[in-house]
Each structure stands twice: as C-alpha cells, then as structure tokens.
Amino acid sequence: MAQKISITVNGIKRTVEIDGWEKLVDVLRDKLGLTGTKKGCDDLSCGACTVIVDGEAKKSCSMPAIKADGTTILTIEGLSKGKTIHPIQKALIEAGAVQCGYCTPGIVLELYALFTKNIDATQEEITNALAKHLCRCTGYEAIFEGAILAQRYMKGNK
C-alpha cells in the first residue's frame, strides 16, 4: 500500500511515495535517481549500499524505507561538491583503493561517518569499520592505507 515519507537527502527535503515493503536503497536509486548507492547482496554482507542516516552509516538494502521517514540522509552524491571531491575520496584514489569502484561509495561513506564522529579513530576502529565492507579487487591493503591517509587529510582540514 502506498505511503508517503519525508526525508532530507543531501540537504534537500523530499517527499516520496513508497510501497510498504520498499527498502531505502530502492527508494534512493529508483525513485530519487541516486544511483551512486550500490547493491551487491541482499543480506547485509557487502556494504556497497551504505548511506548515512542521521549521522550513522547504515546498510540501506536492509532498511525499510518507512523507517527512514523524518531522517536526514547523506548519499555519495551529497559528499563531493561539483569539482571539489571530499578528502576521503582524494585519499582513496591516491592510495590506489579504487579499482572497479563498485564498493567505493559505501566505503567512502563508512569512513565519513567514522571520522565525523571520531577523527582520532584508532587503527583497530578503522579496521572494524572497514570490515563491514567487502571488496574483491584490492586485497584491502590500499583501502586501509587510503583510510589512514583520509584521516590525516581530514585532520589537516580541521
């Protein structure tokens, strides 16, 4: 049955008609055209669909859209500003952490949520955050190095 939800996505207030069963990922991708959020599995395993809901990194493939009503959401499209990319994106690119790129938006947002809350996150905390994501390309070394570099960049930007 159709219902309406109001969400603030990337700073813009949106009202969307949804079906009760719909997941947040499908609303973002299909109804709002925000296809930077990716789908890799359906069981909370891969993290490609991660977005930031009220400051927390959430796997949008498992979040009922109805539960997002009234929230503030940041997707990958909201992070870079025109030609200015976010330091996390810059760091991951420089570290060679972007190969096929399918896991990248989710990882960028995971790190954004982590460093926004705690810019001094320890290496263990960074690893724990990254462990919510799967990447088949890199063997994770470059992703970890990119995360450390991102932390450095963000500290410098403060």
Partner 1 sequence: MNFKYIGKNVDRPDAIKKAIGKAVFIDDIKLPGMLYAAILYPEYAHAKIISIDISEAKKSEGVVKIVTGKGCDFRFGDNVQDRLPMAVDRVLYIGEPVAAVLAENPNQAKTALKKIKVKYEPLPVIVDAMDALKKDAVLLHPDSGNYWHLPGIGPEAGTNIGDHYCCKKGDIEKGFQESDHTFEGEFVYPWGSSAALEPHGAIAQFHEDNTIEIWSSTICPFVVREDIARKYKVPIGDVRVHVPEVGGCFGYKSDVTIEQTVAWIAHFVPGRPVKWMCSRKEDFLSSLLGHGIRTKFKVGVKKDGKFVALQAAIYHSTGAYVDTGLHIMRGATHNCTGAYEFPYCYLDGYSIYTNTTPVGAYRGYGHQESQFGIERMIDIIARKLNIDSFKLREMNYLGPGKYTALGELLWESNGSVKQCSDIIKKKLFSGSKPKEDDKYYYGRGFSALMKSPKGAPFSSKSCFLKFNVDGSVCINMAGAEVGQGLRTVVRQIAAETLKISPERIRVYTEIDTQFSPWEWQTIGSMFTIQGGRAVIRACEKAIQKLKETASQALRVDTDMLEYAGDEIFLKHDPSIKIEIGRLVHGYMYPDGITVGEVIQSTSDARLPRYCNPDKNGQGSMGVTYTFGAQACEIRIEKATGRTIVDHFASCFDIGRVINPKQIRGQVNGGVMMAIGATLCEEIKFDKNGKCLNPFFSKYRFPNIKDAPKKYTVEFIETPEHIGPFGARGIGEHPVIGVAPSILNAIYDAIGVDFFEIPVTPEKIKKTLEGK
CB atoms closer than 10 angstroms to residue 78:
18
Both tokens assigned to 108: 């960028």
Interface with partner 1 includes 28 (CB under 8 A)?
no
Interface with partner 1 includes 125 (CB under 8 A)?
no
Contacts of 146 (CB under 8 A, 6+ apart): 91, 92, 93, 94, 95, 96, 97
Interface with partner 1 includes 89 (CB under 8 A)?
yes
Four-CA torsion 11, 13, 16, 20, nearest 10 degrees:
70
Choose one: 10-18, 62-70, 111-119, 124-132; the region binding partner 1 (CB under 8 A): 124-132
Interface with partner 1 includes 80 (CB under 8 A)?
yes
Interface with partner 1 includes 20 (CB under 8 A)?
no
Interface with partner 1 includes 66 (CB under 8 A)?
no
Contacts of 14 (CB under 8 A, 6+ apart): 6, 7, 8, 32
Residues found near partner 1 in the complex (CB under 8 A): 19, 21, 29-30, 34-46, 48, 75-77, 79-80, 85, 89, 92-93, 96, 98-105, 108, 127, 130-131, 133-144
